[in-house]
Structure 1
């Protein structure tokens, strides 16, 4: 009768094998991390471009409804009821390059140039369930939009909608941008109905 003896020898990784594995993981992390950062930035840009596209579509729908209703006016100027909201529209002035029928405000039609309050009114009228937006840089949320006015490349006053999470943070809040060359944003020019995106 023979007896078998088992050796209680435990196998494991040597120190050299562990170092090699750690080095390989470090190399993978170093190459993958920039890709993940790029994906985050690309997602922010795609989100902003999607909102800008929806806004441009809304502007076109408002104008199309105004045209289909035979260009209604009230005592003040061009107006349309869009999704139960009364929206005042631009009045055409070919000498100054202003096309008729683009959203301008919901509170009162006081003409151009447009201010940040009326830009916010247009934002809320165009979208049925808009992202949070504010004209107060201290009151904006990380996932919202900061609304201001900015001059376009031709010096024409336009609405500027800044993606808040792309702006510079200082202290506990965000710094108000000085132009459209800061943060991801899009502009709306009520004179022509044009919506332009700016990725920074």
Structure 2
């Protein structure tokens, strides 16, 4: 009698297993897209948050420069911002479209803001953020997981472009590839001529 009861209670019938598989499949179909959507939203929030922080930093640099009566060094606009010397846009007579007082990096020779390179862009990034996320202009660094690089930087038409690593395109081997412009990945571009920061979200 007891043996019969134990036998009846053990395991699932084939029909029960099929039902469980169907339910799990249904849950997977409905849950995975929602999870992926949340992931994309997180990536978008990431770059938008960084762009907002960057724009705020640029504004604070200029505000401090104005508050200190627009200090200069060797005819170049500059300011000590949180212990770091930043050189700022210093328009020449031939660059009237450039507004003064926006960070261009650590190089006084680029104060007219027309010769930005990736080093300048990284210096601006590191100069205005109190705890700057890791960044590189070398694509090999992004593909080296031991370096934990979070952002990639390029220069396009004298604008600094900052890209969230995990949103960049990958080749057949799974390696990240360097973007040429703002049509790839989640990014924002900084224009030191007028302090504009423009965010672009590209769906993968």
TM-score, length-scaled by structure 2: 0.86
**Rounded Cα–Cα distance in structure 2 between residues aligned with 1:161 and 1:17:** 53
Choose 10-19 or 100-109, whichever is displaced more: 10-19
Give the superposed CA RMSD: 1.9
3-state SS of 1:51 partner: helix
Where do residues 40-189 of structure 1 align in structure 2 (5 Å cutoff)?
A: 40-92=39-91, 96-110=96-110, 111-113=112-114, 114-140=116-142, 143-151=149-157, 157-170=158-171, 171=173, 173-189=175-191
| Greater share of residues in helix | 2
3-state SS of 1:58 partner: helix
CA contact (8 A) 1:142 1:165 kept: no
Matched residues, number: 191
Aligned to 2:26: 27
3-state SS of 2:40 partner: helix
3-state SS of 2:104 partner: strand
* Structure 1 stretches lacking a partner, 5+ long: 152-156
CA contact (8 A) 2:88 2:103 kept: yes
3-state SS of 1:173 partner: coil
**Rounded Cα–Cα distance in structure 2 between residues aligned with 1:199 and 1:37:** 16
**Rounded Cα–Cα distance in structure 2 between residues aligned with 1:104 and 1:30:** 49
* Structure 2 stretches lacking a partner, 5+ long: none
